[in-house]
Amino acid sequence: MVRKMQTRTLVTRAKLLQVAQALVADGGYGALRVDEVVKEAGVAKGTFFAHFRDKDALMDHLIGGQIDLLIDQATVHPAPNNVDDLVTCLTPLMVFMTSERYVFDIILRHSGAAAKDEIGAIAQTFARQVNLMSDWVAGGPFRTDVPARLLADGIQAFLIHCIGLQFCAAHQGAPMDQRLRHFLDAWLSPIARSP
């Protein structure tokens, strides 16, 4: 028999999320400890794992939510009509993704879900992001010889690549946004090349 969800379930879950967000607010994502969350929330450890598959699932929720907010803002922006504008539109996302190495690791690990039924918040934001960028490149003065969707996928690949290089000692000559601009100039430019 199926019983309806109890009120306390929602209350407990909300309490866990609220406490987790507060702990992240002062200390960052990397310093978050499950033990501390349950202590502050006043529940047992097992309860946490009844609400979240594992710690990563909580992180996926928190970080995914944050990315969603940033994409909301990007959606409001007018569509960029050159590479510079495009990079500007993506900057808030880049800033957040580079805020902590741990955050970037979580994002990488959750950017693609291994099973259809476990596609989480971050994976969904990646899909949103590609859709948005696909609209952008379709409307702007960019190359049209390949599908906008492929261009958008490529932008995402370059974005992740540049963020990764940001954490790399060997590549810290140029700032991240400038490096991204180089890639996007070469990737999106409609100017004819010499054969």
Partner DNA sequence: AATACAAAATGACCGCGGTCAATTTATATT
Partner DNA sequence: AATATAAATTGACCGCGGTCATTTTGTATT
- Residues forming contacts to a second copy in the complex (CB under 8 A) are 101, 105, 108-109, 111-116, 118-119, 123, 127, 143-146, 150-151, 153-154, 156-158, 160-161, 164-165, 167-171, 182-183, 186-187, 190-195
Binding partner of residue 145 among a second copy, DNA, none, CB under 5 to 8 Å per kind?
a second copy
Residue 19 vs 64, nearer CB to a second copy: 64
Binding partner of residue 132 among a second copy, DNA, none, CB under 5 to 8 Å per kind?
none
Which residues are at the interface with DNA (CB under 7 A)? Answer: 1-9, 11-12, 32-35, 42-47, 49-51, 54-56
Binding partner of residue 33 among a second copy, DNA, none, CB under 5 to 8 Å per kind?
DNA
Residue 12 vs 134, nearer CB to DNA: 12
Minimum CB–partner distance for residue 49 and a second copy (Å): 22
Burial grade of 178 (CB within 10 A; 0-12, 13-18, 19 or more): exposed
